[in-house]
Chains A and B, each alone.
Chain A
Amino acid sequence: MTPELLSLSNAPGMFVAVMLVKILAVFGVVMLMIAYATWVERKLIGHMQTRLGPTMTGPCGLLQPIADGLKLFFKEDIIPAQASKLSFVLAPMMMVVPALVTVAIIPFGRDITLLGYIIPMQIADLNVGVLFILAMAGLGVYGVVLAGWSSNSKYALLGGIRSTAQVISYELAAGMVIVAIFMLSGTLSMRGLVEAQQGPLWGITSLPAWIHNWYIFSQPLAFGIFVICSLAEINRTPFDLPEAETELVSGFATEYSSMKYALFFMAEYANMIVLSAVISTLFLGGWDGPFWGALNLFIKVVGFMMFFMWIRATWPRVRYDQLMFLGWKIFIPLAMLNIVVTALLILL
């Protein structure tokens, strides 16, 4: 019997069980990565600035994330009297959920065959994969907007407005830049994108077999623009204007405390992980590489996150007009140019 794709119709019980295992595993890994990303960030930036970072809790401060979590959990939860209660409570959740939902479409390994069924190592293979990511990124904006508005504080409102303008401008450039990727791959599904990147580079078979057709080689410009746009979309340095400490206290999160504040941090790190995984899948072949599938993806994601932290340790913040200038007058024309050049090269 040739193995067939496991689906709800041919083996319902097994399908549900496998799905639950996959969802729990991915969720667990992402949650652990979020917790320890805070530790890595503090350690890494500490050492880059000739400090030590956390050292007291556990060996090398390894228990610091747990201590931080417990501290935030037991803090008093304050809702400002002038705040709009519903939106104030809703906002942090509306930031976390889209980030975590996006993880569902990241493929993290080669298909495995179990009991005569093919099990894809991906929670859901959507026909419109990449558009789903853009849609979820669009929904993530609401968290920031609502947090800024509902706090009823001028710092929070300014942070929220800045963030919205920033995310909308850079989403446009990011969306246009990945059009070139679709033109090369001919598919929108993340699974299809990984498969398309496994052939020899540019179809030249005389190159060594370990060089794969990763789109970073064909689309270096798109890669650069997409990485910078991702930085802007997740409000990281040098684009962290929405929470610019020196001018806005802590931006949209100013009025938040306790677990709601922790949720904003979780959302930030979850977004970082998701975008690193998306960049790895779009440009670096996803789980393709020398090691076991999921390990390759893990290495790439950790690499990107360390890169983001490195930037945070070394770069100053850009000014607001520079940010808008970069997004609208440089990235969008460059993205269009990239589409035209790619189309011409495909036609030739």
Chain B
Amino acid sequence: MEILFFLFVAFVAVGSGVFVVTCKNPVNSAIALVNTFFCLATCYVMLDAPFMAAIQLIVYAGAIMVLIIFVIMLLNIGTVDVVKSSHAVAGGALMSVLVAVQVLYMLNRGEVANIEGPMTESAILEFGHTELLARSLFTEFLLPFELTAILLLVAIVGAIVLAKRDV
């Protein structure tokens, strides 16, 4: 039952991913991308990570994509006929084959799957996913967390400086 549901969600995710690339209208591409994000969030829920799912929806689907659609709307980009050059198609095909080989190799040979850590399924059920995440974020990984915060602050200040010519 669960595997059927996963296959359905994965199918929709890949399908909307294809739409993102093939849609001629940029707004429709953006909607398809939102759909992909939603499917990814569903996958996170199935992996017992509801916090990740909520964050995925709030940050990517809720904020970033709205801004992207906003920009598309304000620049009024209409339907564009993409000039397809054979170089681009060949390069893209080569890259996608390489990525597919790499992913398959990592899944089969690498140590991506079946890593045993402190965050097991039983621990998630006992303490809750959000609590576990917060615990490791604010103890073990406090320094990277704070550094990321400063980095984001710098980015925000930089964006404002760039946007306003004379501060």
Q: A-side interface residues toward B, CB under 8 Å?
A: 84, 86-87, 90, 126-128, 131-132, 134-139, 141-142, 145-146, 148-150, 157, 160-161, 164, 168, 171, 188
Contact = CB atoms under 8 A, between A and B. Distances in A.
A164 B68 CA distance: 12
A131 B54 contact: yes
B63 interface: yes
Interface residues of B, number: 25
A126 B66 contact: no
Contact of B31 (A138, A146, A164, A168): A146
B70 interface: yes
B58 A138 contact: yes
B54 A128 contact: yes
Nearest to B70: A164
A188 B133 CA distance: 14
B81 to A, nearest CB: 17
B54 A132 contact: yes
A131 B58 CA distance: 8
5 contacts: A135-B54, A138-B66, A142-B31, A168-B66, A171-B62
Interface in B55-97: 55, 57-58, 61-63, 66, 69-70, 73-74
A138 B69 contact: no
A127 B31 contact: no
A142 B27 contact: no
B102 interface: no
Q: Which 9 A-B pairs have the closest CB atoms?
A: A138-B62, A135-B57, A131-B54, A128-B54, A128-B50, A149-B73, A135-B58, A135-B54, A127-B50
Interface of B: 25, 27-28, 31, 34, 38, 41, 50-51, 53-55, 57-58, 61-63, 66, 69-70, 73-74, 128-130
Contacts of A141: 62, 66
Given A90-B31, A127-B128, 13 more contacts: A84-B25, A128-B53, A128-B54, A131-B54, A132-B54, A135-B53, A135-B57, A135-B61, A139-B34, A141-B62, A142-B31, A146-B31, A171-B62
A142 B34 contact: yes
B80 to A, nearest CB: 14
B62 A135 contact: yes
Contacts of B70: 145, 161, 164
A87 B34 CA distance: 13
B57 A138 contact: yes
B35 to A, nearest CB: 11
Contacts of A87: 27-28, 31
User: A interface, by DSSP: helix, strand, loop or mixed?
Assistant: helix
Contacts of B58: 131, 134-135, 138
A142 B51 CA distance: 22
B73 A157 contact: yes
A139 B34 CA distance: 9
A127 B62 CA distance: 20
A127 B54 CA distance: 10
A198 B129 CA distance: 25
Nearest to A189: B128
A128 B49 CA distance: 10
A136 B51 CA distance: 14
B33 to A, nearest CB: 12
A128 B51 contact: yes
Contacts of B63: 138, 168
A145 B27 CA distance: 10
B61 A145 contact: no
Nearest to A192: B128
A138 B27 contact: no
A161 B57 contact: no
Contacts of A134: 54, 58, 62
A161 B54 CA distance: 25
A142 B30 CA distance: 11
A136 to B, nearest CB: 8
B130 to A, nearest CB: 6
Contacts of A145: 66, 69-70, 73
Nearest to A145: B69
A138 B34 CA distance: 11
A55 B28 CA distance: 45
B31 A139 contact: no
A111 B26 CA distance: 48
A127 B130 CA distance: 8
A171 B69 CA distance: 18
A344 to B, nearest CB: 18
A185 to B, nearest CB: 13
Nearest to B66: A141
A126 B128 CA distance: 10
Most buried by A among B31, B51, B54: B54
